Amino acid sequence: MRPVVIGNATLYLGDCREILPTLPKVDAVVTDPPYGVLDESWDDMTFRELLRMTMEWVAQVSRKSETLVTFFAQEKRAAIDPLLQALFDECRQLIWNKCGGRVSEDGMFYSFEPIFFCHPKKTWSVCEPKSMRVAALLTAAREAAGMSKGGVDMLVRGKKTGLCYRWEEAACLPTEDQLEKLRSALSLGEDFDSAYVDAVAAKDNVVSLARSTASENAARYLDVFSIAPSGSSSDRHPTEKPVQLMIELVEIASQRGAIILDPFMGSGTTGVACMNLGRKFIGIEIEPKYFDIACRRIEDAQRQGRMFA
């Protein structure tokens, strides 16, 4: 089970179910597993056999990463859907539009393949900082002036709106215009001015962070990938995916420098994509023929990368 190391790629020849327990955690798993649609020996399974095999590898990779991108046949997804939902935080379906397709026995033209993207929950929130110092100084100044909170509201807005309650609970800050009206009735002093300046600066910093985070979360990819399949030849895996498709999927799943694992490496397309993108790669393939092809392709991709650099 000694791996072949090619630059940033570590490749194993063997059954992933035996090798996966020996591997460390990775940043993402990007793979195209067997799902029982071909007559090839490694893919020719009954649904029960497919279910057992899928349960094994999905459970194992879920321990290696919280992010998984995997292909799976639409008609066989009952074998994988409940597992993904149970083992990953978020699961959504992407579409590979093959820009062509095939006619099935029922006369339907099938032109797409589903891809499942599972990842941790991506949530973010920005809470405006509370300035308890501003609130305390405003309360002290109001009480020293003998004014009620409602009286301050009447002064500032001409009606009771509860605004002064929110200021003194540090839920929000007075605007510059509101502050001028407060100064006319209350002795706020230099301490208040200093606290107010600090509170506004903290608020502006949070607003800037919110905008930056919103920009980072802006859509950068469609959930439909329109890329023609790889051509067939003797040196290709029968289910080999286009390099460009795998490049886009690896980009969605990870950042530069990440470690990507493919437990069903085939002829190494995911590894080639990783070499193009500056990711580290761990690949596993059970068939010696395709393992050798993967080694050659990944070595060529690394060589081309060095020449380009």
Number of domains the chain contains: 2
Choose one of 197, 215, 233: the last residue of a domain.
215
Q: Are 53 and 45 in contact (CB under 8 A)?
A: yes
Is the pLDDT at 128 greater than 50? The verdict is yes
> How far apart, in whole angstroms, are the C-alpha atoms of residue 142 and residue 50?
73
Is the pLDDT at 43 greater than 70? The verdict is yes
Q: Are 251 and 19 in contact (CB under 8 A)?
A: no
Query: Domain limits at 191?
Result: 132-215
Choose one of 215, 230, 257: the last residue of a domain.
215
- Identify the CA nearest to 173 among candidates 151, 156, 190: 156
Identify whether residues 110 and 14 lie together within a single domain: yes
Identify whether residues 101 and 222 lie together within a single domain: yes
List the single range of 10-24, 164-178, 199-213 with lowest mean pLDDT: 199-213
Q: What is the pLDDT of residues 177-197, one digit of tens each?
A: 888 888 888 888 889 989 989
- Identify the CA nearest to 199 among candidates 131, 138, 127, 128: 131
- CATH number of the domain that 57 lies in? 3.40.50.150
Average pLDDT over residues 226-249: 86
What local confidence, expressed as pLDDT, does residue 188 receive? 87
Identify whether residues 63 and 116 lie together within a single domain: yes
What local confidence, expressed as pLDDT, does residue 79 receive? 92
Identify whether residues 140 and 228 lie together within a single domain: no
Identify whether residues 25 and 112 lie together within a single domain: yes
What local confidence, expressed as pLDDT, does residue 214 receive? 60
What local confidence, expressed as pLDDT, does residue 220 receive? 65
What local confidence, expressed as pLDDT, does residue 19 receive? 97
Read off the tokens for 171: 């839920």
Identify whether residues 11 and 78 lie together within a single domain: yes
> How far apart, in whole angstroms, are the C-alpha atoms of residue 196 and residue 206?
15
Tell which wins on pLDDT, 132 or 249.
Answer: 249
- CATH number of the domain that 149 lies in? 1.10.260
Average pLDDT over residues 14-18: 96
Q: What is the pLDDT of residues 152-161, one digit of tens each?
A: 989 888 888 8
Identify whether residues 141 and 271 lie together within a single domain: no
Give me the percent of the chain exceeding a pLDDT of 70. Answer: 89
Q: Are 53 and 79 in contact (CB under 8 A)?
A: no
Identify whether residues 142 and 275 lie together within a single domain: no
Identify whether residues 147 and 223 lie together within a single domain: no
* In-domain check, residue 127: no
- What is the DSSP annotation of 165-220? HHHHTTS----HHHHHHHHHHS--HHHHHHHHHHHHHHHHHHHHHHHHHHHHTS--
What local confidence, expressed as pLDDT, does residue 179 receive? 86
Q: Confidence class of residue 127 from pLDDT cuts 50, 70 and 90? A: low
Q: Confidence class of residue 227 from pLDDT cuts 50, 70 and 90? A: very high
